Structure 1
Amino acid sequence: MSKRYLISTSEFSEQSLTDLSLKHQNFLSWPLVYFLSENNKFEAYVGETTDLVSRMKAHLKSDHKKNLQSAHLISSDLFNKSATLDIESNLIKYIAADGRYQLQNGNLGIANHHFYQKKELYWDIFKDIWSELRTLGITRHSLEYIDNSDLFKYSPYKSLSDEQVAGLKMILKCLLDDRAKVSLIEGGAGTGKSILAIFLFKLLKTDTEDFNLTDFDENDLELFELFKKVKQQYGHLEMALVVPMSSFRKTIEKVFKGIKGLRSNMVIGPADVVKKKYDLLIIDESHRLRQRVNLGAYFGAFDQNCKALGFDKMTSSELDWVLKQANKSILFYDEQQSIKPSDVSAGAFKNLKQKADTRYEILKTQFRVKGGADYVKFIQGLFTEQNKALKPYAPGLNYESYLYECLDDMVNDIKLKDQQFGLSRLIAGFAWKWISNKDKSKFDIVIEDTKLQWNAVTVDWVNTPNAINEVGCIHTIQGYDLNYTGVIIGPEIGYDPISEQLIIHDQLYQDKNGKNSIKDPEILKSYIVNIYKTILLRGINGTFIYVCDPALRKHFKKFWRLKETVAQVKPLNLHSNKINGQCIPFYDLNIAAGSFSAYQQVENISFLELPDNLRTNPDLFACKIVGESMNKVIPNGSIALFKKYNGGSRNGLICLVESTNIYDKELGGQYTIKEYRSKKTQTDDSWVHEEITLHPLSTDEYFQPLVLRDEETIDLKVIGIFERVLA
């Protein structure tokens, strides 16, 4: 199949411009995308242009870009200006998160265009381009892998919403206003507060010459003018990003380490602000700044810092510290994510909001959960007592949400989702003691036949290898995004059907620092409710719920769709070695190369343990199937079982085939899985293939049959015959 684009590579230098002009004379005034790179410091720049020679000449005059050595030009007669802007923005987002190169690009002007055929055509072209860039060694990871990475989720190379742009303008104006000291940005879970904080930090650490003004729209130009004035007024800003929670702070440190112009030591904890004065402090998750309540081992350091700054330890907080140590402060805040008595009181933020030198903006639009505003309102309403207006939640095509009556079913479903999509985790309220912390043989959460342990680590738990077999809590999950979340609502919260009130069993709530010193039961209830609201808004694609308290479960049944109990599908176990006779080879088709006839010699294979009800034999193997081209039979993300092809008719069968004449963008190479059909013609002494058609079985009409004729059929090799979907 012919490609719909061309990637060509040449030297990036004054001497190469003539050669560049000759090689691309048909595209000199045509929209194209380019990637400039050097492989010493592994820096790069992504751009698009309709005037190739002029743009390259301009880059060669730049102090930063003239050190780049190679130019990779991506051209297509299908491109228009909108298409190249979109492909450019996707390349910036994904290359920045791939981790191989640090980009010299500024982060204003990242396009988020909507135009005819974008989904059907240009995104598919981008996926093809990305696969070829991996082949060329320019990029390393699959798009699916990057989508789940922290470097992508918290990248400063994002397209901002109108609300976020308004917030950014307010912040920049605040920096220019001598009468303004504080910018307070308020928004609920999933409204993009952390993204805006990181975007702003990268913006302020970028040189003006790193921006390509030709890509800017009116909003970008207005922001750029404000940004230039800030640069002129302040020059080099002494600044830091303050993240109160240690686990999330470690994650953002790793993100900063991978971004040009940023360093991990620019991300600090609240106690670090005592060490010096700053021009600007940006405080993410500022609702988790602490006051002198239930601090445990931190009491001593807290008191010393208060003394060093001249504050009364009994009346001051970390909020006071950051306000004193910074000429300007930007705080991102959500009152409903305050979860314990040590958090700075909501009253302190209300007082701050009312001050004459505070500027205020609110973010309302939900970006995290695909259930959107309807799901967020439902979660808020679910915990609003005596809410007569609350209606049952009906999950749509884009969001899965179920209430489970069997915890084991939910655990299995989360493990299956993790195998399919990654980043699926169990989260629970703090209703069980952490006994496995001292004795790894003990289980913390025991409900009927289900036995589980709390998270074994407290820092960046979400990304640890064994996280799928553990249960996280609010302290390990706040600030993070997940694909699917399985929430265990513990017995510390119940329901009184007579008064129609939520009730708290404080003796069952095990977070001592979360309840000690609280005398008003309603305050404890508000903290516990905030915890559940927060963790129920972590799942991007879906949220599953199990409720321990029978009365509360019965109440929730009125509003939540019950997950029907079906014949149980156990999650499949992968092993690095063949541990028993039920194990068969498991291949990643993005990695496997060469002949499957000697598949035991292919590197990077794992072994999948088949369920006991399936009989194994030496010809069986399994592959993970990515893509929608066979979704009528094999859903995207499924693990499929194949039997090695040993001869016989293949007509009408679903086959895994290999050929140099095909390129399947979904599997990223010369393998494809399709329904096999052939036409044969008779020669003097045999039958030969006249035409082989590989048919997709998809609900998406975009996927078309692959047709191989004559010589193209010669090297086609059937590797295996599809048996069934395993998971």
Structure 2
Amino acid sequence: MTVAAKEIRDQEQFVLLDEQKTVRDLVLHQVKKAASADSKSVILVTGGPGSGKSVIALSLMGELAREGRSAIHATGSRSFTQTLRKIAGKGSTRTKGLFKYFNNFMEAERNGLEVLILDEAHRIREKSVQRYTPKALREKARAQVDELLDAARVPVFLLDQNQVVRPGEMGTPDDIRAAAEAKGLDVRQIDLADQFRSGGSLAYIEWVERLLGLRDIETGPQPWEGIDENFAVDVVDSPEELESRLQAYRDTGKSTRMTAGFCWPWSKPRDDGSLVLDVTIGSWQRPWNLDSERSVGGAPPSALWATDPAGFGQVGCVYTAQGFEYDWNGVILGPDLVWRQAVDGGRGAWLVRRAESRDSEVTKKSVTDAQFDRLIRNTYKVLLTRGMVGTLIYSTDEETRGFLRTVVRGRSRGQAARLLVAPPQ
């Protein structure tokens, strides 16, 4: 985010890697083509966590600003947009105005922008209406993807469809391509194969996806076995151990955060400003991150939980962690996702338990069991892929912890200790 501020405010430039340069150059070419030929095109960029989608988005914002082009960056994430406004837009009302939400384009002028950069586009909703939308506007609301396609000459969608974590999110490549083609628009797609967030460990991302049954379902979870010396994975025995190890890493100057599945109630702060210790596991208790736009009791606003050092004392959820990263990542698997070895003829399988979730969005009746299953797996995929140096995993379920130890195989514990002393650069 600090680099983003320099990129946009001070016109310094990111050093992009090969595939990222390809995307940037394609967008810039299409912008010039649209301006000279009075045409329009759609660019679709897909990639997993840490593949550089947001780096591309912010680099484009800087480059387009240098060229004097009209460009807006938009997301469906309050945390991500507010953080960009705070850090990249610090001291500049005009720069803050460059960062908007997907639902800000209901009345946008058709092709009023040259470029609309849609970061985290997997969070596009079916429609932009909300409870504060005026009735007249609500009645003529269109599909949100149509509003976004219409708002710019070159709309750029950057997404990872395995990060859809709420019902009603429509941002898949098929959804976007179908909407564009219905308008007769050309779609250019680029897939980012490399992965940079988790210490450059594409192996770790693939391991997480296999672990959760999001890919290679027939082969099932595979052992980690410490196969990447630049990234550490370990299973801890208690939340106390999880927090103490993260604190040790934090004491060395590394950024650390704890996150969990949404399996505990979420209370508002007390009248005296103290936070309710909702996340309770045995005698260990911690509060969730704030669900407000102001600091309370020393905890940062929800949008800044992932980037403000004061966020360490609270447990984050997927809605505040998505889109961000930190050095060391502590993840609590709640009782909504457990492993049972006796299932599937003794091969073992994950059980997704709806009754254990406290997320009213994913448990409402309109969400089918199959949809709920996928949303929970995607949620933990997001939570498990926030770390850049290492990830510590704890499950509240004893059998699940035992299973996780068999796939991690214990080799990463020593590796994690070595990384504490000399973390990779």
Structure 1 pair 305–348 and aligned structure 2 pair: CA distance change class (3 A): farther
Partner residue, 2:22 = 166
| Counterpart for residue 376 of structure 1 | 205
1:256 aligned onto 2:88:
yes
CA distance in 2, matches of 1:350, 1:409: 46
The runs of 5 or more residues in structure 1 that have no matched partner are 1-92, 108-156, 208-235, 570-630, 638-727
Q: Which has the higher contact order (CA 8 A, sep 6+)?
A: 2
2:334 aligned residue (490, 500, 504) = 490
Q: Which amino acid aligns with 2:359?
A: D
Distance of 1:95 and 1:445 partners within structure 2: 34
Match of 1:527 in 2: 375
CA distance 1:441–1:339, shift in 2 (3 Å): closer
User: Deviation per CA, 1:332-388, whole angstroms, max 9, x where unpaired?
Assistant: 111011101131253523424766521111111101111511111111111125534
Query: What TM-score, normalized to structure 1?
Result: 0.50
**Which residue of structure 2 lines up, in the alignment, with residue 442 of structure 1?**
276
Query: CA distance change for structure 1 residues 397 and 391 in 2, over 3 Å: closer, same or farther?
Result: closer
Q: What do residues 288-324 of structure 1 show as CA deviations (whole Å, max 9, x unaligned)?
A: 122259x8xx2342865454xx445xxx2x2222112
Distance 1:533 1:173, change over 3 A: same
- Distance (Å, rounded) in 1 between the aligned partners of 2:302 and 2:396: 25
- Point out the structure with the larger strand share: 1
Deviation for aligned residue 1:419: 1.6
Aligned to 2:391: 543
Counterpart Cα distance in 1 of 2:352 and 2:269? 26
Q: In the alignment, what sits opposite 2:50?
A: 190
More moved, 463-472 vs 408-417: 463-472
Q: Sort the Cα spacing of 1:438 and 1:327 in 2 relative to 1 into closer, same or farther, 3 A.
A: farther
Larger Rg: 1
Deviation at 1:563, TM superposition (A): 8.6
Among 274, 286, 289, the residue aligned to 2:124: 289
Seq. identity, %? 21
Counting only pairs closer than 5 Å after superposition, residues 127-206 of structure 1 correspond to structure 2 as 157-175=13-31, 176-177=33-34, 178=37, 179-206=39-66
1:421–1:483 contact (8 Å) kept in structure 2: no
Q: Counterpart amino acid of 2:96?
A: S
Aligned-pair CA distance for 1:390: 2.1
Q: Deviations over 1:451-497 (max 9, x none)?
A: 11101232211233431111001111111110111000111111232
What do residues 51-100 of structure 1 show as CA deviations (whole Å, max 9, x unaligned)?
A: xxxxxxxxxxxxxxxxxxxxxxxxxxxxxxxxxxxxxxxxxx9998689x
The answer to whether the Cα contact below 8 Å between 1:167 and 1:362 also exists between their aligned partners in 2 is: no
Which of 54, 69, 72 lines up with 1:240 in the alignment?
72
Q: Look up the match of 1:272.
A: 104
Aligned partner of 2:21: which letter? Answer: V
Q: Return closer, same or farther for 1:433/1:302 CA change in 2, 3 Å cut-off.
A: farther
Letter in 2 for 1:451: Q
Amino acid at match of 2:119: D
Q: Tell me if structure 2 keeps the 8 A contact 1:392–1:558.
A: no
RMSD of aligned alpha carbons: 3.3
CA shift in 2, pair 1:388/1:337, >3 Å? closer
> 1:412–1:441: structure 2 CA closer, same or farther, 3 Å change rule?
same
The answer as to whether partners of 2:234 and 2:413 remain within 8 angstroms in 1 is no
Quote the Cα distance in structure 2 between the aligned partners of 1:558 and 1:356: 50
SS of the residue corresponding to residue 381 of structure 1 reads: helix
- Partner-residue secondary structure (3-state), 2:222: coil
**1:501 corresponds to:** 349
The Cα of 1:239 is off from its aligned counterpart by 2.3
Give the unaligned 5+ runs of structure 2. Answer: 291-300
Find the residue that maps to 1:558 and give its secondary structure.
helix
Contact 1:425 1:485 in 2 (8 A): yes
How far apart are the structure 1 equivalents of 2:93 and 2:14?
A: 17
Distance (Å, rounded) in 2 between the aligned partners of 1:564 and 1:490:
22
**Residues 233-270 of structure 1, C-alpha deviations (whole Å, 9 max, x = no match):** xxx43321112111110111133325999711111112
C-alpha distance after superposition, 1:26-64 (max 9, x if no partner): xxxxxxxxxxxxxxxxxxxxxxxxxxxxxxxxxxxxxxx
Retained in 2: the 8 A contact 1:174–1:359? no
SS class of match (1:559): helix
Matched, 1:349 2:166: no
Rate the CA distance shift 1:165–1:441 in 2: closer, same or farther, 3 A: closer
User: Structure 1 residue 562: deviation in Å?
Assistant: 3.9
Equivalent residue, structure 2, for 1:693? none
Query: SS of 1:430's equivalent?
Result: coil
- Mapped contact 1:341–1:515 kept (Cα < 8 A): no
Deviates further, 258-267 or 425-434: 258-267
- The answer to whether the Cα contact below 8 Å between 1:386 and 1:501 also exists between their aligned partners in 2 is no
Secondary structure of 2:303 counterpart: coil
Compute the displacement of 1:432 (Å).
0.8
One of 286, 302, 317 as aligned partner of 1:473: 317
Contact 1:96/1:259 (8 A) holds in 2: no
Offset at residue 271 of structure 1 (A): 2.6
Question: 250-259 or 358-367, which moves further after superposition?
Answer: 250-259
Partners of 2:145 and 2:192 lie apart in 1 by: 21
Residue 275 of structure 1 and its aligned partner are, at CA, apart by: 4.8
- Mapped to 2, the partners of 1:97 and 1:326 lie a distance apart of 24
Q: Relative to structure 2, which stretch is displaced further, 386-395 or 452-461?
A: 386-395
Note the alpha carbon deviations across 1:3-27, whole angstroms, 9 max, x for none.
xxxxxxxxxxxxxxxxxxxxxxxxx
The alpha-carbon deviation at position 328 of structure 1 amounts to 2.4
User: What amino acid does structure 2 have at the position aligned with 1:322?
Assistant: L
Aligned partner of 1:712 in structure 2 is none
Query: Which amino acid is the alignment partner of residue 443 of structure 1?
Result: L
2:193 is the alignment partner of 1:364? yes
Partner of 1:14: none
From the two aligned structures, give the one with the greater helix fraction.
2
Is the contact made by 1:185 and 1:330 (CA closer than 8 Å) also made in structure 2? yes
Taking structure 1 as reference, are residues 556 and 518 closer, same or farther at Cα in structure 2, changes over 3 Å only?
farther
TM-score computed with the length of structure 2 as normaliser? 0.82
Query: Structure 2 counterpart of 1:415, which letter?
Result: Q
Residue 199 and residue 441 in structure 1: after superposition, are their counterparts in 2 closer, same or farther (change >3 A)? closer
CA contact (8 A) 1:404 1:563 kept: no
Counterpart amino acid of residue 16 in structure 2 = L
For residues 371-410 of structure 1, the C-alpha deviation after alignment (integer angstroms, 9 at most, x for no partner) is: 5111111111111255347233415432221011222111
